[in-house]
Amino acid sequence: MASKRDRINWKGYLPAITTPFDDERGLDLRALGGLLEWLHAEGMHGLVVAGTTGEWFSLDSAERHALFHAAGNQLAHRLPLIAGCSAYTPSEVLTHIDQAHAAGFSGVLVTPPPYARPGEEEILAFYTAIARRSRLPICVYNWPPGTGIDMPLALLERIADLDAVVAIKQSTGDMAQFMATFFALHEKVRIFGLPLDEVGLMMVRLHDADGTMGAGGVLGRHQPDFYNLAWQGDFVGALASGGKDRLIMREWFTPALIGKFGSAAAILKSALNARGVPGGRVRAPFQDVSEADAACIAATMDALGCLGAPVVAPREPALSC
């Protein structure tokens, strides 16, 4: 009997992409078009749109839905797209899911309600209400830095029993808890959150582990190549590609995943802008990184050989069919 995980083809490196804003901090769909085309050309295995890195919390509903439709019109027929649909109530989440479905997305990513810190039974009820009416497969997102809640395995097991839940993005900072989640649930749902290092490589080699929903895809093909090379049996090459990702994580973020130069979105947009890819600006409450910090970020990219690529032009949003 096929498991729920077999309903989807999500696997490998699926970056949580940034959302470009222009100088007036408006949603810049032309810049988004250029960013999406570059990410696709660099071989990403899928994309997460309007996740945490995509600053979903600063988008109103109309903007989030415009983002879904622009991305869906451009890429839904070419690779898996997962919509960030996090919100405070099930009805809000379901409104976003309906729009993602209409835009041709493959699935959705949903955290527990941030800030509110609901209890375990309340979290289960939240996901149950969403799962009963969702028109798309659900990836549950355990994101303790953003929600203040690190969902225990027993709760994740109950949530994974919901029919619409097909994946878990396990972003706990506790590797032992990640491993416990993987071995308890990977035969039922897909588990994302692998580091691009020796541990991640071991999990891919020995257990066909699913992948990573990572930060922005700013290194281009080096990040998906961790998986591409591992699947081909080139383990040395895979670790070399993964090492570039580990370097930016060390240089730009603390072990608790707090940005050293500002927000993660601001850092990643600065990196994209440095290499000529449309990253754009961040929106309040975030601030763009300082010129000095942007120089540090660019120096890291240069050391990794990621500068000097052709500039990516903005692209007009695709028209709806």
- Across 145-214, the runs of DSSP E, i.e. the strands, are 165-170, 190-192, 211-212
Question: Which of the following is catalytic: 4, 11, 169, 244?
Answer: 169
Angle formed at CA 78 by CA 76 and CA 81, multiple of 5 degrees: 40
DSSP code per residue over 227-292: HHHHHHT-HHHHHHHHHHHHHHHHHHB-TT--BSSS-HHHHHHHHHHHTTS---B--TT--PPPHH
76 and 46 in contact (C-beta within 8 Å)?
no
Q: Is 115 a catalytic residue?
A: no
Strands (E), the chain: 12-13, 47-49, 81-84, 107-110, 138-142, 165-170, 190-192, 211-212
Known catalytic membership, residue 141: yes
Q: Which of 13, 127, 141, 227 is catalytic?
A: 141
CA–CA distance, 160 with 169 (Å, rounded to integer): 12
Give the residue numbers marked as catalytic: 141, 169
